[in-house]
Structure 1
Amino acid sequence: MGSSDSALAAERLRIDGVLVQHFRESGLTGPRWDQFHRQLLGHGLTIVTKLVRSGAVFSRCGRHGRYLHQQDISPQEAEELASDAVFEGFVYFRDRGLLGRQWSVEHGQPLTEYFVNACVLAFPNVYRRWQTRAGGWQDVQLVDTFASLEHVVTEGTPEDAVIEQQAANAAFATLSEDSKRLLFLHDQGYSHAEIAELLRLTPRAVEGRIRRARLAMRRRPDEER
């Protein structure tokens, strides 16, 4: 690293140190913290999603002594796993790095790098829960008709209803296991908050994933026409 790069890195750490001191004194509240919080989550989600999609997150976990058996992950599932890892990584970053004072300028690691590493450390638990849910879900009797999920009353002949159900079944089958699980629980009357507690997500994440799953269900029949 050249002298100019070293100077820039040192200045970056100095600014991070000033920010952290301010955040600790303010109790992680106020407009500056809110802005930093949003930017940090956005940055983390972009980086971690790329790591999960490329599979690089597994080698990074291995470098930390957390070895995982890599499985194929669909793009949608990669996004969901990354979202969960960022959410849990932020809790670690906030509680231990900032409030617990584990982060310091002396360690020489920029805040954003420290945060991404926290997300990587959170990934193994997120990934193992995903593996467990995906395996256990196979034994659950799914409600695999879009009409049932959306409470749609089909008007037409019995033949029309059969065709409609077949299309719904085919569309439902293309969803990830997590999406099927979310739609099933929602159809059974669970609230977003209850589903969030069951699956260890945030209510907002549950709402967004249900919306994406429904859009995917609607898009599939249209694409086949």
Structure 2
Amino acid sequence: MRGSDSAHADRLRVDGVLVQHLRESGLTGLLWDQFHRQLLGRGLTIVTRLVRSGAVFARCGRHGRYLHQQVIPLDEAEELASDAVFEGFVIFCERGLLGKEWSVERGQPLDEYFVNACVLAFPNVYRRWQTRMNSWRDVDLLDSFASLEQVVAEGTPEDAVVEQQAADAAFAALSEDNRRLLLLHDEGYSHAEIAELTRLTPRAVEGRIRRARLIARQHSDEER
């Protein structure tokens, strides 16, 4: 136990020196760049695991933020975790570092404080996701995915039919959220505009569209 207590104390001392330097630098410089990249990477790994396992709901409850747990598809879990980490990082910087809420005296290691900030951010991220799921449930989606691969403009009518069937199958294989994102994108909406409509961040929109196109393209190739 003493060894464990000593290691914990050493960890807090190191964190204290680091935080003092980061505050004095105004969260800028090479050390800050290295620190925040590593922190985001570790945080995303941990929070993704919490979301996929459902443990994040219990963690939220311990902070007095009770949520109605809903099954989250695995492909959505990473996006929810990513958004929670992004928003948690803002809380971490504004409250913990610049706001000086974090201190050695409170006895919580810096990375644990960051994960807790992500957990605190999760309820808003999760509620926005639920709102999107509910609001899109009644939306009529197109039955084709002509923008996946341009339908054969030259060749026989049979070629065009085969191409369209492959596109339709690929489109149907996507989740409703991903279909909706692709439709908005193909209708000319920018990532920022889609983010505003769907209550996502532009970065999350860009990532989802890229992954949705990859999934659809792979499925289309398999159908041909």
Structure-1-length-normalised TM-score: 0.91
1:195 partner SS: helix
Contact 2:128/2:199, CA 8 A, preserved across alignment: no
- Counterpart residue identity of residue 130, structure 2: Q
* 1:153 corresponds to: 151
Structure 2: stretches of 5+ with no match in the other structure: none
Q: Distance in 1 between matches of 2:125 and 2:161?
A: 39
Matches within 5 A, 1:6-45: 6-45=5-44
CA RMSD of aligned residues (A): 1.8
- Counterpart residue identity of residue 207, structure 2: G
1:14 partner SS: helix
Q: Distance in 1 between matches of 2:134 and 2:169?
A: 21
- Counterpart residue identity of residue 22, structure 1: H
Moved more, 153-162 or 2-11: 153-162
Q: Distance in 1 between matches of 2:159 and 2:22?
A: 61
Q: Distance in 1 between matches of 2:24 and 2:197?
A: 35
Task: Please identify runs of 4+ aligned residues in structure 1 that moved more than 4 A.
Answer: none
Q: Distance in 1 between matches of 2:207 and 2:167?
A: 21
Contact 1:20/1:98, CA 8 A, preserved across alignment: yes
* 1:134 corresponds to: 133
Contact 1:144/1:168, CA 8 A, preserved across alignment: no
Residue 103 of structure 2 corresponds to residue 101 of structure 1: no
Shift of 1:195: 2.5
Q: Distance in 1 between matches of 2:168 and 2:151?
A: 16
Query: Identity of counterpart residues, as a percentage?
Result: 77
Cα distance change, pair 179–9 in 1 and its aligned pair in 2 (3 A): same
- Counterpart residue identity of residue 3, structure 2: S
Q: Distance in 2 between matches of 1:57 and 1:92?
A: 17
Moved more, 161-170 or 132-141: 161-170
Shift of 1:199: 3.4
